Amino acid sequence: MRNKSIYFDTNAILDMSQLDNPLRKRRVGVTHERVRQLKRLVAQGKLTVLVSVCQVQELAEGLLSRNPSVSLETVRKDMRFFRGIVCRDGLIEENSSDIVRTDMQRCLAGQEAASHLISAEEVLGLLDTALEVRTLSDLLSWLDAFGQAHANTVRYKKHFDGCRDDFRQERAQLAATSPEESNPSEKEAWDRVWDVVTASTVRCLAAKLGVAEQLDDLQVCRLLKVKSVRLVAGYRASYLYELWFPEKGSHRRRSQGDYGDQMHAIFASTADVFVAGDIRFVELLNRIPNRGVRVLSLPDFLSHL
C-alpha cells in the first residue's frame, strides 16, 4: 500500500499511540514493528496521513472522560504520536457540513469534485502548543480555546440532528413499500432500507445545507455517486438497517459515539483509505456499495504495509 492518502479515526490513533498502556486493550495485529513501518513510510513520503480538527479535539477531550487509562501524560503522548505522522499539506477542511455542501453544489452544477485539503500548519502549531502544557488546568484551558476557535466542527451534528426528524416517516415508508411477507432475506431488507434512507437523507441534507429545497429522483441518484454524500447517506442507511433488522445485523444499540463516527465518515471521503479502530464501524461502512474509499480495520491496514 503505497502513495495513498490515509485517514484514521481517533480510536485507531489511540490503539497505536497507547501500545504500552497496560490499561488499554491491545489489538491483535497492532505491534510496535508495524507501527514503526507506518512511520517509516510516512517519513519517506510513501503514505500521506490526513488530519481533521475533529481528531485533535477528540484526542484532547479524552482527558475529560472517566477512563482510568487516560491521564495528562497519555493525552500528550497521543498528540505527540499523531503530530509525528500527519502531513503538513493534509488538513481536511474543518467543517464537515461544508464538505458535503460544496460537493453537492458542484455535482448539481455539473462540476468536478473539489479538493478539501489545505495546509495543516495552523493545527500542527496548536498540537505543538498542547505538547508544551504541564498541568491539567493548562490543557483544559487549551482545549477551551481550541473549541472556541474551531466551533464550526459541531455544525454538522446539528444538520444531522435535523435529519433525525424523518426517522418515523422513513420507517413508515419502508413498511408501506415492503411486501406482505414478514421475513425478507438479508439482501432484500438491506436494499429496501438503502432505497428509502439514502434518498431521504440526501433530500434532507440538501435542504438543511441550503443546497436545494427539493430534488427530483435523477438529482438524488447523481448526488449518491458523490463520495462524501454516498458515505454520509450510506452510513445512516447501514446504521438504521441494524436498528430495524437486528436479527440480520449486529444488534446495534445507539451510542454517544455515533455522531462522531458520522463526522469521521465524511472526513474519510477525502482519503483513499479509511482506517477505523472499531470493527463495528468498519462493518457499517463496508456494507455501503461503491464507497469510493477503502475501509479497513487497523490490524488489516497495518498488515498490508
Range(s) of the domain holding residue 27: 4-303
Query: Of all helices (H) and strands (E), which one includes residue 221?
Result: helix 217-223
Confidence (pLDDT) at 254: 55
The tally of CA atoms less than 13 A away on the side-chain side of residue 184 is 18
Closest CA to 241 of 275, 277, 278, 288: 288
Give the pLDDT means over successive 10-residue stretches in the chain (305 positions).
87 91 80 94 92 81 64 81 85 80 95 85 76 75 69 51 59 67 79 92 91 94 96 91 73 58 89 93 93 95 93
Per DSSP bridges, beta strands 47-51 and 4-8 are parallel
Grid cell of 283 as nine digits: 462493518
With cell 490526513, the residue in question is 50
Confidence (pLDDT) at 269: 93
Q: Alpha-carbon distance 7 to 1, whole Å?
A: 14
**78-89 pLDDT, tens digit each:** 888 988 898 877
**155-179 pLDDT, tens digit each:** 445 555 555 555 667 777 776 666 5
Closest CA to 203 of 195, 192, 213: 213
Confidence (pLDDT) at 211: 94
Q: What total of structural domains would you count in the chain? A: 1
